[in-house]
Amino acid sequence: MINKDLEIQFEDAVKRVNAHADPFPADTLLKLYAYYKKATNDYSRPKSKKPIINAFKTNALFQVKNITKEEAMETYIELVNNYFLYRE
């Protein structure tokens, strides 16, 4: 079972990302995408209209396939915190 504090921190990190108006660097965006999908157990295929973007997203998902949901949440939170640490 997932720690409630971890779920709250994850939800807060997702809100920060969604509220951010400026574009994220592509590598950061792909990491956020992959960790988010893993943390939410969303295993649907990428749905971009551009095949190259789907390929990058699929690759990002392959890179996180062997981590747990909890590890994905923790890494997502850490990535968000580090990103905003140097931007605010």
| 66-70 LR contacts (CB < 8 Å, sep 24+) | 67/38, 69/2, 69/38, 69/39, 69/41, 70/2, 70/3, 70/6
Domain range list for the chain? 4-85
pLDDT band for 28, please (50, 70, 90 cuts): very high
Predicted confidence (pLDDT) at residue 1 exceeds the cutoff of 60 = no
The CATH number assigned to the domain with range 4-85 reads 1.20.80.10
Q: Model confidence over 30-76: pLDDT tens digits?
A: 999 999 999 999 888 888 889 999 999 999 999 999 999 999 999 99
Predicted confidence (pLDDT) at residue 2 exceeds the cutoff of 90 = no
pLDDT at 88 (0 to 100): 58
Residue 65 has a CB neighbour count (10 Å cut-off) of 9
